[in-house]
Structures are given as structure tokens and as C-alpha cells.
Amino acid sequence: KNQVEQSPQSLIILERKNCTLQCNYTVSPFSNLRWYKQDTGRGPVSLTIMTFSENTKSNGRYTATLDADTKQSSLHITASQLSDSASYICVVSFSSGGSYIPTFGRGTSLIVHP
């Protein structure tokens, strides 16, 4: 069964600190992995996307890594800001009958305190 597991479930950090969120998956056959940010009451917004051959991808203060061998990904947030408080969702897509179906993790809820 295709699954995406994220840890920790929730995280509280102080402003300007760094943090790392984890994602493990069993999705197969793997197509791509995205990290999304979802603010409360809004739809998810894509932060990064990586395919099988990519190990790291950055978007400003967000850096995602991918180890396709161990099926693990991480999202590192540098110098956190209050506006980083949100749910961060790992989404792994697999190919199925010509389509690419995304499997969503439950997300990590990040709270940044001043």
C-alpha cells in the first residue's frame, strides 16, 4: 500500500531558529516528491518538487532533500519567521495507468513563536 509518513506530527520553535521536517514513503513506482505549505483555512501551496535523480532543491529559506534509495525526504527551514507557522505536507506521486496520482502525508504542524 502506498503510504507517506511525516514526522514530527507537530513542532514548536522560536523565531529565527532552524528546523528539519521528515518524510518517509513507500510509494511505488515513484514519480516525484513535493513539499507543500498549507496555511490554516487555505489550500496547499507548492514549495519544492524533486524527481528521482534530484538530491536537493532550494526555494529561498526552504531546502528539500531526497534519498530515493532509503525513500526519505527532509525539508529544512532556515532562520524561521512567524509567517512560517503552517502545516507542511509531503506529497509523493506514483504512476498509475498513465496518470500520476499524488499520495499526501498528514503533514507536520509548525508553530513559530516570537
Partner 1 sequence: NAGVMQNPRHLVRRRGQEARLRCSPMKGHSHVYWYRQLPEEGLKFMVYLQKENIIDESGMPKERFSAEFPKEGPSILRIQQVVRGDSAAYFCASSTAGTGSYNEQFFGPGTRLTVL
Residues within the interface to partner 1 (CB under 8 A): 4, 31-32, 41-46, 49, 51, 89, 93, 96-97, 99-107
What is the C-alpha separation between 12 and 4, in angstroms, rounded? 22
Q: Which is nearer to partner 1, 40 or 83 (CB)?
A: 40
Beta-ladder partners of 4: 25
CB 85 within 8 A of CB 110: yes
Q: Which is nearer to partner 1, 53 or 83 (CB)?
A: 53
Q: Which is nearer to partner 1, 44 or 73 (CB)?
A: 44
Q: How far is the CB of 15 from partner 1 (least distance, A)?
A: 27
Q: How far is the CB of 56 from partner 1 (least distance, A)?
A: 17
Cα–chain center distance at 72:
10
CB atoms within 10 A of CB 4: 22
